[in-house]
Structure 1
């Protein structure tokens, strides 16, 4: 193969590796991170659209701001502690069994996910304004050097920052509506090894970022005393990542090229119901639909407009279902718990080692301690079991086939506070 052909193949492979694999992990379908509320985590987000009563409701359903009667600031963070184990089940390179230096170890490390939100009543019993800042999509992992899936992935880092200014109106005592815009920044760095034969083994890197915008809108309805119904919609977000595509470490064919690739994040529809059973107990249920079918292909282009690759992803729409309960013991202590079933949008043919995703089952608990009329302290913990799945993907211009079984889990610890002015 000529040097120019080698460069072209490596460029296409690099982009494909990076963007194919960036969208696959998750706390809720794909790599969406639900954990933007400590209170909501306590009941597995079963009441996020209906009964969430701190400022983080701005993100989950801005219509819920109408239930907050004082200016409120909420801050917190959730520590995500993921573990993943991949077992080689027949990985090959050039048609020959390939084991590398091992299974790559646990590629994840503990990562904090922060959240910040504020609500301000503008016109008493009519108009509210709020803003939330969170990280709704993200991923960070790194495998041991030389592992058996090195031609699929070695390192991935995706960070998003989402700012959601919103307003809410109380139509009457039974109906509230809310809406806002989403301004989202995305930054990605993705690496994988490349085997170029006589040119040696190198490292491919994709680095890119983008700023994009979307919208969200929600409603809460109280058809009768003690019952709340809710619906919320958040639009898809289309990022055109602009950056550099590099191949380094080869004897020939290294490159450093400007390029771009489309990253389409799903729209999300939420439906919730909550029922107050008595002055102390309430129960909640929520369903979330994720439009991951938006992520059906990755089309990577040079900045000159030439299509370098078009890789079918075949992601499927997915659902998450949650139920939970909350118990108000007294004016000081509130306790909550919940479970959630969270479906993956991936299939065996397209699942990758960057994000070895599977259906997830959540178990969570939480509490709020009301220090005084101004301060609330929120704590929550959870465990997510990730179902075992298979990986069967082809990489390195067709010469590497990565086959593996996956299993994993995520531990969650969260703490935060609300201040009511």
Structure 2
């Protein structure tokens, strides 16, 4: 069997993190989210893949190549225009034969669920029981037969949602060619399912575990999920008087300096300098070539490669892009005084603690304060002592 993974989209809800990378290449636990998905499918027994790429596709091609490094075969199809999921799948026509697995590239799923799903007959859609079904397409079934698929509704008909995992045979490509543009101006894969539903051919299969990575704060959930399952791997140097409580991955060439306290699970990439006297708290993932320095506290955050947070800083429950530099004394708040869920642009994150999303190459002067739920665009420069909140567009200069 072959597996098609849709990885062509920009992921606009992830901006500014996708300003120079495709969404599926955003790191989770120091690996691109697409790599986690690929490894899960490989563990389920599939070794032949088609990646549908488009936006910044070369980053995906350069990283995964032909699949040899992963012990599999990867072919590529390019979606030349960003015209929806049906259009993306149609790009893979001719590269698959008979029955195949289709996955959206921005999910976390267990290999055991994939193995169980592969025992179903095509066409089949994977479903999941959600606590907030209004954010997804809801699947209404009678037994396993799908009766209705309702896209995002404020009053959903149940809590079983479409998880973006499908079993199809090549008949689907003929259906895709008959579709019209949706109200959003795209060719929607869910529209292609209507014929199957009308003829009572579409079945559903409930997954035990699934995580969608649609918004930046979902990265923290995925990061935490992936970091619960690794063992210690120490390739770098740990100086004397370092205290480590919990699992740690430390990359080659990295140094943890004296006086540092680490609460695992924690992943630190290659060629990093941590400390002295840093405090790294659980579920933090630090990319390659980073500096987390003296008296800096980092909690439950994702730090992209080549970023410096070197002196008297606090970063909690945040996602920080690559090439950033935080001036001494800069802090990111992660908790509202009223203890209500943090909102970003008015959107509820469903998280009581969430700090900020910071784009690439952001330079913050000394003693800057960043409020909860802030989004800072790429290449932003903030003067010393700046107070930053709300949404800051790319290339903005804050303060004098």
TM-score (norm 2): 0.24
Q: Which has the higher strand share?
A: 1
TM-score (norm 1): 0.23
Q: Which has the higher contact order (CA 8 A, sep 6+)?
A: 1
Q: Which has the higher helix share?
A: 2
